[in-house]
Amino acid sequence: MRVFLGVSGASGAAYGGHALRALTRAGCHVGLCVSGAGCQVVSHEILGEGARPVAPRDVVVQRFVDRFADPAGTLEVLDPRDIAASFASGSSLTPAALIAPCSTSTLAKIAHGTGENLIHRAAEVMLKERRRLVLIPRETPLSAIHLENMLTVTRAGAVVLPAMPGLYMLPQRVEDMIDFVVGKALDQIGVPHDLLKRWGEPQAVAT
């Protein structure tokens, strides 16, 4: 399955990393696009090198890929300026796009159709083609503008799936909390995974 994965500049780059790992592990063909601000957050939160990376963007993205991508899938690394990429066209049969994390700025551009980069365009394509678009926003507290934009994209067909991990599964590690959110996102686009326990269901036993 082809999936577009946008990583924008909200805190929580690990949501994008865990999504990349789970999608490639499931054998998906992933079009990965990290925004400029997304690169800064990856540098700070994943690479531990601060939010003003010295390394060029390609190096930051490659290190993100090396850390999370699984060889079971295939990957296209896309420049956010490349609005000629296949994912920018509705003629490309990509059934789903995930933006993880989704900044409030990217949310606003999707809500108002004022896209400036490939992430915004790929999201717009999902909405116009009535395909699956899942946004994982991370901000707190939320202003009326954020909330209205979430309602606008929801009315247009997107799924707003905030980075709000449930605690009822008694997570032991931060990674468990990230996987809870990413697992819910993958459920929305129909990609199989074993990222979360399912309430009331027996745990699968590895053979």
Ligand X SMILES: Cc1cc2nc3c(=O)[nH]c(=O)nc-3n(C[C@H](O)[C@H](O)[C@H](O)COP(=O)(O)O)c2cc1C
Binding site for ligand X (CB under 6 A): 8-11, 35, 37-38, 40-41, 44, 51, 103-106, 138-139
Percent helix / strand / coil, the chain, rounded to 5:
40, 15, 45
Closest approach, Cβ 101 to ligand X, in A, equals 7
Of 10 and 26, nearer to ligand X (C-beta) is 10
Closest residue to ligand X in the complex (CB):
9
Q: In what order do the strands lie in the sheet with 96-102?
A: 74-78, 29-34, 2-7, 96-102, 132-137, 159-160
Cα–Cα–Cα angle for 153, 159, 164, rounded to 5 degrees: 110
Contact 5, 30 (CB under 8 A): yes
Of the two residues 3 and 13, which places its CB atom closer to ligand X in the complex?
13
Output the smallest distance, CB 167 to ligand X, in A: 20
CA dihedral defined by 153, 158, 108, 180, rounded to 10 degrees? 130
State the nearest-atom distance from the C-beta of 44 to ligand X, in Å: 5
Q: Residue 75: which of 139, 123, 24 has the closest Cα?
A: 24
Q: How far is the CB of 1 from ligand X (least distance, A)?
A: 25
Nearer to ligand X, 38 or 73 (CB): 38
Nearer to ligand X, 2 or 44 (CB): 44
